[in-house]
Amino acid sequence: MDARDVVIAPLITEKSMANTMVQQYTFRVAPEATKTQIRHAVEEIFKVNVTKVNTVNVKGKMKSFARRRARATTGRQSDWKKAIVTLKEGQKIELGGVNYFEQ
């Protein structure tokens, strides 16, 4: 599996940006990716040293969609996997935006 197939996208939330102060970055990853594959992919893409990888399988939410002149229908969002990657002390990843928590 290619590194770009393992790491799909960074998660930019208030909590994940606050964790960047302690060298923790959150990514959306492929559901079948292992911790070792995630570690090697992040090291290859961002040229950093990874010390720890935590993963979470996130279950999809039930959503209801209102229809005009018909009853509401419900659907389910897809399940996905999240990885929280801890980097070696002193290293960081530039995600392209301004990090207001690093001041």
pLDDT digits (tens, 9 = 90+) for 16-49: 989 999 999 999 999 999 999 999 999 999 999 9
Give the predicted TM-score (pTM) of the model: 0.85
Residue type, 6: V
pLDDT tens for 47-75 read 999 999 999 999 999 998 877 777 888 89
Break the chain into its structural domains and give their ranges: 3-87
Tell me how far CA of residue 101 lies from CA of 23, 28, 82, 90, in angstroms. Answer: 12, 21, 21, 16
Average pLDDT over residues 6-23: 92
Kindly report the CATH number that applies to the domain delimited by 3-87. Answer: 3.30.70.330
